[in-house]
């Protein structure tokens, strides 16, 4: 039998559990609504950005022929007789991005293979934080590193190299993108079943042969997706090319001279050179829409490749 002193304490425990259950039920009902509101805000923000780009771009093309924009080889928006051909900005953007990929893809892939197939847990725990530090450095720091250190070093090797050029920001951008290539590629290779490696070893394959002839082909879809995302990152990079790339639209493939990218042009005009409501002002949105289309296409391609990769495993 319970004593009279024990009954109130048991009743209190029951009441506390009931109140806790009620609070839990309230949270279960409230949190999904809060998450939904956050998702809706994100979607509406995205639509707002796209619509702003779209409307301002339409205004630009009401004053400038879209044929001239796509086909002209001259980009001089501040002249008295302006030219609005996007090709020089595209040339500068893709040239610097290509230089970055020449650095980022082989180095990042080599790091990924080492981390996935060769490194011990201790070494992996050491290298991965270093890569994360590289990924966390502000891009403005990379830009001044390219301008004040890399460019003078390159000028000692290439005497004709201009202070503002495409080579220096391209190389530094490649260093910046290495962690992205390495991390995504390593994730793809780690997803390859261990049984495939063990089967290759049982047949007498070396670790290098397993890495290059078994793991790499099996993870190829995920690795290609990492390359595509990295190219998208390079195309959209802003501060490195703004600081070290210069502000002259490209007229050729001379990587030793100044090249302006789409993002660098947007920054330049946003500093106040373009008056509000002018054609030059609306050209910022036209260039931004072009950049948006390219990066969106790259991201969709990466998602498509990743989806195929997930279906295989």
Alpha carbon distance 24, 32 (integer Å): 13
Alpha carbon distance 26, 31 (integer Å): 9
Helical ranges in the chain per DSSP H: 6-61, 66-71, 87-113, 121-136, 139-145, 151-157, 167-190, 194-202, 207-210, 216-218, 220-236, 239-244, 262-268, 279-312
Contacts (Cβ under 8 Å, ≥6 apart) of 175? 103, 104, 134, 142
Domain that holds residue 112: 91-308
pLDDT exceeds 60 at position 102:
yes
**What is the count of structural domains for the chain?**
1
Residue 28 lies in a domain: no
pLDDT exceeds 60 at position 116:
yes
Closest by Cα among 225, 280, 305, 260 to 92: 260
Residue 65 lies in a domain: no
Residue 155: exposed, middle, or buried by beta-carbon count in 10 A (0-12, 13-18, 19+)?
middle
Residue 158: exposed, middle, or buried by beta-carbon count in 10 A (0-12, 13-18, 19+)?
middle
Average pLDDT of the chain, as a whole number: 82
Contacts (Cβ under 8 Å, ≥6 apart) of 43? none
Give the CATH number for residue 119: 1.10.3720.10
Residue 56: exposed, middle, or buried by beta-carbon count in 10 A (0-12, 13-18, 19+)?
middle
Residue 8 lies in a domain: no
Alpha carbon distance 272, 25 (integer Å): 54
Residue 193 lies in a domain: yes
Distance of CA 117 to the CA centre of its chain: 26
Residue 46 lies in a domain: no
Residue 75 lies in a domain: no
Average pLDDT over residues 111-125: 85
Copy the structure tokens of residue 123: 């070494």
Residue 262 lies in a domain: yes
pLDDT exceeds 80 at position 307:
no
Distance of CA 286 to the CA centre of its chain: 21
Taking the CB of residue 288, how many other CB atoms lie within 10 A of it? 19
Is residue 207 a contact partner of residue 119, using CB atoms and an 8 Å limit? Answer: no
pLDDT exceeds 50 at position 311:
no
The model's confidence at residue 27, banded by pLDDT at 50, 70 and 90, is low
Residue 52 lies in a domain: no
pLDDT exceeds 90 at position 21:
no
* 309-to-23, 101, 191, 210 alpha-carbon distances in Å: 43, 22, 10, 20
Is residue 115 a contact partner of residue 179, using CB atoms and an 8 Å limit? Answer: no
What pLDDT is attached to residue 313? 46
Specify the pairing of strand 75-76 against strand 83-84: antiparallel
pLDDT exceeds 80 at position 202:
yes
Alpha carbon distance 65, 70 (integer Å): 9
pLDDT exceeds 50 at position 188:
yes
pLDDT in tens, 253-287: 888 888 888 888 888 887 766 677 788 888 888 88
The model's confidence at residue 109, banded by pLDDT at 50, 70 and 90, is very high
* 42-to-39, 46, 149, 232 alpha-carbon distances in Å: 5, 6, 40, 21
Is residue 105 a contact partner of residue 227, using CB atoms and an 8 Å limit? Answer: yes
pLDDT in tens, 66-91: 888 888 888 887 777 778 888 888 98
0.85 cut: is pTM over it? no
């Amino acid at each position: 039998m319970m004593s009279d002193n024990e009954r109130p304490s048991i009743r209190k425990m029951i009441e506390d559990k009931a109140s806790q259950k009620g609070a839990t039920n309230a949270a279960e009902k409230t949190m999904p609504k809060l998450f939904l509101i956050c998702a809706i805000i994100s979607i509406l923000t995205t639509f707002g950005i796209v619509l702003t780009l779209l409307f301002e771009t339409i205004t630009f093309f009401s004053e400038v022929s879209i044929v001239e924009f796509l086909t002209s080889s001259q980009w001089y928006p501040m002249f008295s007789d302006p030219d609005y051909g996007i090709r020089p900005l595209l040339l500068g953007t893709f040239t610097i991005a290509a230089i970055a990929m020449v650095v980022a893809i082989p180095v990042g892939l080599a790091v990924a293979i080492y981390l996935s197939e060769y490194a011990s847990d201790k070494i992996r725990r050491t290298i991965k934080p270093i890569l994360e530090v590289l990924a966390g450095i502000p891009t403005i720091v990379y830009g001044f590193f390219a301008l004040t250190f890399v460019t003078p070093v390159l000028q000692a090797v290439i005497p004709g190299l201009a202070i503002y050029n495409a080579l220096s920001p391209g190389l530094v951008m490649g260093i910046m993108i290495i962690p992205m290539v390495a991390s995504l590629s390593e994730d793809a290779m780690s997803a390859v079943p261990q049984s495939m490696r063990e089967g290759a070893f049982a047949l007498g394959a070396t670790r290098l042969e397993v890495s290059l002839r078994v793991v790499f082909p099996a993870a190829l879809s995920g690795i290609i997706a990492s390359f595509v995302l990295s190219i998208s990152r390079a195309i959209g990079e802003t501060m490195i090319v703004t600081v070290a790339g210069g502000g002259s639209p490209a007229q050729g493939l001379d990587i030793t001279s100044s090249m302006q990218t789409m993002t660098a042009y947007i920054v330049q005009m946003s500093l106040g050179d373009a008056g509000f409501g002018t054609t030059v002002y609306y050209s910022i949105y036209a260039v931004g829409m072009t950049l948006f289309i390219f990066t969106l296409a790259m991201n969709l391609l990466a998602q498509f490749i990743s989806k195929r990769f997930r279906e295989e495993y």
